[in-house]
Amino acid sequence: MELELQLAVERLHAQYAHALDADQLEDWPNFFTENGRYRIATAENEERGLPLPVLYCEGRGMMRDRIQSLRHANIYEPQRYRHIVSAVLVEKISAREARSSANFLVIRIMQDGATVVFASGRFVDRIALPEMKYDERVVICDSRRFDTLLAIPL
Amino acid sequence: MELELQLAVERLHAQYAHALDADQLEDWPNFFTENGRYRIATAENEERGLPLPVLYCEGRGMMRDRIQSLRHANIYEPQRYRHIVSAVLVEKISAREARSSANFLVIRIMQDGATVVFASGRFVDRIALPEMKYDERVVICDSRRFDTLLAIPL
Amino acid sequence: MELELQLAVERLHAQYAHALDADQLEDWPNFFTENGRYRIATAENEERGLPLPVLYCEGRGMMRDRIQSLRHANIYEPQRYRHIVSAVLVEKISAREARSSANFLVIRIMQDGATVVFASGRFVDRIALPEMKYDERVVICDSRRFDTLLAIPL
C-alpha cells in the first residue's frame, strides 16, 4: 500500500513535469482539485513568514485565467523548460490526504540553444486521495532572484 | 505487477546512465535488442517532423562500429559525463512491450574541473519485455545547439 | 521484498538530501551507524587508488565534531544547497547489508541569488539492514576542482 502511494505520487509529479515541459499549460489546472491552491515563494520569505508569494492562484478558474493571460501576452522569447524532480518524500496523513516534499531543478533552454539552471527548490504538496490531485502545491525557490518569466508556472 | 514494471524500467535507465558515466561505452549496445534503434534528435526537428537525427544507429552491430570509431578517433579533451534521469513515466503496451518517457540532464565535466549543463531533454523509449532491453531509444534534446562531442551516446 | 528495499533506500537518500538542504547539519551524523564512515573523494584519485580523501570522518563522534567546527568557523558567505539524486541502483548483499550506487548533482545558491552547479558525481554506499543507516558513504566527485566550501558535507 505504502509502495503504491509512493509510486502514485511520483507519477503525479512526473506527469505534471512533462505537461509543463511540453508547453501544455492548458492542462496545468487539471492537476489540481477544484479549489486547489498554487503558490510560488522564495525560501527566504517562507522562513521569515512573509506572505509575499511571487505567484498565487486559488482554484482552477484562477489558474485558467492565468494561462489565458500568459498566452495572450506572449511577448517572451521562445524557450523550453525541463523539470528534474528528485528526492520525493511521501507521507500519508489520512485516507483523504497525502503530503509530499520533493526537490526540483528547472533548466531553461533559450531559442539560441543556451541552457541555464533557471530555478531550484522544493515542491511542498498536499495531495487529495484517492483523486491524486494537488490540493495545494507550494513551490519554494532557493534563489531570491527572479525575472519576469516566473509568470510561467513551475 | 505495475509497480514491478515501473521499478524495472527505472533500473534499466539507471544502469544505462551508470554505464555511460563510467565510460563503459563497449557495454552500450547491450542495452538494446539485436535490431534495436537509437536516435538523437532535437525537439525542434521532432516537432517539425524533420527526419534529421544528429545520430542514428540501427542494430547492435552498427552501435559497436560507432563505439569502435569513437575509441580510435579519440581526439577529444578528456571529460566526464553525469546523467540525471527523472520523471520516469512507464506504460505497458502488451506482454512484449512497454513504453517510457523520462526527463534527463547530462552534466559535462572537463579535465580542468569546469562543470556545465551539457544537454537536457527527454528519453522516449520502447522496451522489449520480458528482456528489458531498448527496442528503440530516442533522445530528444531541448537545445538546437550541439557541438561535435555529441558523437558520444547520451 | 526487493521493491521495498529499493524504495527504502531511495527514501533514505531523499531524507539525507532534504536534511542537508535544510541546513540541519546536526542531524547529519544520525544517518550513519555508530562507527559509520564518510568520505569525499575525486573520481581521479579513486581510479588511481590514491587514498587522498577531500574529507574523511569515521564514527558519529567525529562527524559531530566536524559539524560543530563548521558552525563555529562560519565565515562563509550564506548559501543554500539543493541535492538532486538519480539513477539509484540497489543490491542486497546479505540480511545485514545493502549496497547502493546513485548519481547526484548539487546546486549552490549564493545570497545574491546566483545559482551554479556546485558538484556532480556518485554516492557509493553500504547500508546497514534493517536499521537503514549508512555504514559507509563515499561521495565520488567528478571534478578535481574544489573550493574550501567542500568542508560542508555533500
In DSSP notation, A35-80 reads: EEEEEEEEHHHHHHT----SEEEESHHHHHHHHHHHHHT--SPPEE
Q: What digits encode the pLDDT tens for the residues A93-121?
A: 999 999 999 999 999 998 888 888 999 99
Arithmetic mean of pLDDT over chain B = 91
Q: At what angle do helices A2-21 and B2-21 cross, to 10 degrees?
A: 60
Predicted pLDDT at C49: 86
Q: What digits encode the pLDDT tens for the residues B7-46?
A: 999 999 999 999 999 999 999 999 999 999 999 999 988 8
ipTM above 0.85, yes or no: yes
Predicted pLDDT at B39: 93
Residue B77 DSSP one-character state? P
For residues A10-21, average pLDDT: 98
- Helix ranges (DSSP H) in chain A: 2-21, 43-48, 60-72
Which residues fall within 8 angstroms of residue A45, CB to CB, at 6 or more apart?
A51, A52, A53
Q: What pTM value is reported for the model? A: 0.95
For residues A54-74, average pLDDT: 90
Task: Tell me: pLDDT of B78 over 80.
Answer: no
Judged by a CB distance cut-off of 8 A, whether residue C93 touches chain B is no
Indicate which of C112, C115, C120, C123 best probes the interface with A, i.e. most A CBs within 10 Å of its own CB: C115
Arithmetic mean of pLDDT over chain A = 91
Judged by a CB distance cut-off of 8 A, whether residue C148 touches chain A is no
Give the nearest chain C residue to B109 (CA atoms). Answer: C143
Task: Tell me: pLDDT of B148 over 60.
Answer: no
The verdict on a CB contact (< 8 Å) between A85 and B88 is no
Task: Tell me: pLDDT of C83 over 90.
Answer: yes
**Per-residue confidence band for B146, with pLDDT thresholds at 50, 70 and 90:** low
For residues B71-82, average pLDDT: 77
Judged by a CB distance cut-off of 8 A, whether residue B96 touches chain C is no
The candidate with the shortest Cα–Cα distance to C9, out of C138, C139, C96, C99, is: C99
**Per-residue confidence band for C150, with pLDDT thresholds at 50, 70 and 90:** low
Percentage of chain B modeled with pLDDT above 70? 94
Q: Are strands A133-141 and A115-128 parallel, antiparallel or unpaired?
A: antiparallel
Task: Tell me: pLDDT of C29 over 90.
Answer: yes
Query: Could you tell me which residue, B133 or A46, shows the higher pLDDT?
Result: B133
Tell me the CA end-to-end span of chain C in Å, nearest whole number: 30
Query: Is residue A56 packed enough to be buried (19+ CB in 10 Å), middle (13-18) or exposed (0-12)?
Result: middle
Task: Tell me: pLDDT of A148 over 60.
Answer: no
Predicted pLDDT at A150: 57
The candidate with the shortest Cα–Cα distance to B146, out of B67, B52, B5, is: B52
DSSP H or E stretch at residue C33: strand C32-42
Residue C37 CA to residue A100 CA, distance in Å, equals: 30
For the record, the C-alpha cell of C64 comes out as 559531530
Percentage of chain B modeled with pLDDT above 90? 69
The verdict on a CB contact (< 8 Å) between A115 and B143 is yes
Amino acid at C56: Y
Concatenated DSSP letters for C34-102?
EEEEEEEEEHHHHHHT----SEEEESHHHHHHHHHHHHHT--SPPEEEEEEEEEEEEEEEETTEEEEEE
Task: Tell me: pLDDT of A132 over 90.
Answer: yes
**Per-residue confidence band for B71, with pLDDT thresholds at 50, 70 and 90:** confident
The verdict on a CB contact (< 8 Å) between C142 and B114 is no
Task: Tell me: pLDDT of B139 over 70.
Answer: yes
Query: Could you tell me which residue, A53 or C83, shows the higher pLDDT?
Result: C83
Q: Are strands C79-94 and B79-92 parallel, antiparallel or unpaired?
A: unpaired
The order of strands in the sheet holding B55-58 is B55-58, B32-42, B133-141, B115-128, B97-110, B79-92
